[in-house]
Structure 1
Amino acid sequence: MLYLDEFLLIAVAHFFAVASPGPDFAIVMKQSIQQGRRNALWTSFGVGAAILLHVAYCVLGVAILLSQSPSLFMALKYVAGAYLAFLGVQAIRSAKPDTVTQQTLAQQPQESMFKAFRRGFFTNALNPKATLFFMSLFTLVVSPTTPTFVQAGYGLYMALATWLWFSCLSLVLSKVSVREFFLKSGYWFDRGIGVILIALAIRVVV
């Protein structure tokens, strides 16, 4: 109860951050429609796991180093922008789908679980927006006197909440009817997502 107010502030801030459209949303949506439910769930798991990375460096004090070193943070932004641009180019270059049925959806080649997890993990881990969010959260909201194990508990909550949010999104978007709609009438869907990812990459850098 001693840290309840602090936790509630963190929970509210995190909810609005995770619900706002961004690279995580774009990649989970893309994976749900292109690869299906299992792949999207593993991608969501990767996004949630990356939250623990952000929390770890904040608790360990690396966030202070990042905030005091503009060149290091700028390097992170360029790496993140390059990764998002790479994903965007891949989406734009995707081939035109054939007539889509439940059978063809089932026969589509599937990425490995590890590759799906890695895609979600790096999309979030390299997102400077997430870095800024957690740096702000752990310097402005979390008190310096809050014990490390309590801060770790905050991080575990945010990782689980993120995973659940994107998992629910995956379950909705990976329904056969939804996938058929986007893959049939959305010849330009991949290209649209690609443009969005490239735009996000540019926004991250500038």
Structure 2
Amino acid sequence: MEIFWAWMLFLIVDIAAAMSPGPAFVALVRNAMAYDRKTGIATALGLALGVSIHVILVLGGIAFVITQSVVLFNVIKYGGAGYLIYVGIKALRSDRRRVVAEADKACAKTVTLRQAVLQGFWTNLLNPKAIVFFTAVFAQFIHPSMSFSVQILYGFTPVCVEFLWFSGLAIILTNTSIKRRFMNVIHWVERLCGGLMIGLGVKLALFR
């Protein structure tokens, strides 16, 4: 049961991160709004594949650190909690005009589904903040006594969240009436996610 609730907390962090606008959000909105639903979902698949590479790298690195130095692991862990708080504060300062302006930068040329997947993949893979974020998050939940199967569960979680959220977003943004309403409140979504990250960062720093 303790494993389940820890995983639920991890899931909340992942959902908040996925919903907070960033490079992945811009790439998805650009392709879904400029082209069609299939292109948006293909982009979401690429974004999830990019996240999977970061997850593999981070899990492997944290596993190595755990076996080498408890002190270094704690440095990463508490530094990670601080980073979550920092990201949350930035999200709280979200401005609707900035978010919408970034989303409005659409491509003029057409893209194939394969190109859309690659765009999503490279967008997340080449985002330096992504690996820092996942290192910060995983360091709060991965510990020496954790079984390999549970680590796999944690690894699959952000990949699935990334794909499901952005696929859903592609569907929303290809519905004209829903799209207008969504873009009017997206900055409030980002602020809500920012508040969640600050709260979780403080909790993880103080109580784990």
Q: How does 1:1-206 map to 2 (within 5 A)?
A: 1-61=1-61, 91=105, 110-175=110-175
- The one-letter amino acid paired with 1:168 is G
Once the two structures are superposed, residues 99-125 of structure 1 have per-residue CA deviations (whole angstroms, 9 ceiling, x without a partner) of: xxxxxxxxxx74121110010011111
Question: How many angstroms does 1:64 deviate by?
Answer: 7.2
**How many matched pairs?**
144
- The one-letter amino acid paired with 1:114 is R
CA contact (8 A) 1:9 1:141 kept: no
- The one-letter amino acid paired with 1:170 is A
Q: Give the share of equivalent positions with the same residue, in percent.
A: 29
Question: How many angstroms does 1:62 deviate by?
Answer: 7.0
Change (3 A) 1:63 1:174: farther
State how far apart, in whole Å, the 1-side matches of 2:176 and 2:63 are. 42
TM-score (norm: length of structure 2): 0.60
Larger Rg: 1
CA RMSD of aligned residues (A): 2.9
Once the two structures are superposed, residues 66-118 of structure 1 have per-residue CA deviations (whole angstroms, 9 ceiling, x without a partner) of: x9xxxxxxxxxxxxxxxxxxxx9xx58x66xxxxxxxxxxxxx7412111001
Provide the residue aligned with 1:184 in structure 2.
Answer: none
CA contact (8 A) 2:58 2:131 kept: no
- The one-letter amino acid paired with 2:162 is T
- The one-letter amino acid paired with 2:53 is L
State how far apart, in whole Å, the 2-side matches of 1:144 and 1:137 are. 16
State how far apart, in whole Å, the 2-side matches of 1:134 and 1:54 are. 7
Unaligned stretches of 5+ residues in structure 1 = 68-87, 96-108, 182-206
CA contact (8 A) 1:46 1:121 kept: yes
Unaligned stretches of 5+ residues in structure 2 = 66-71, 73-101, 181-208
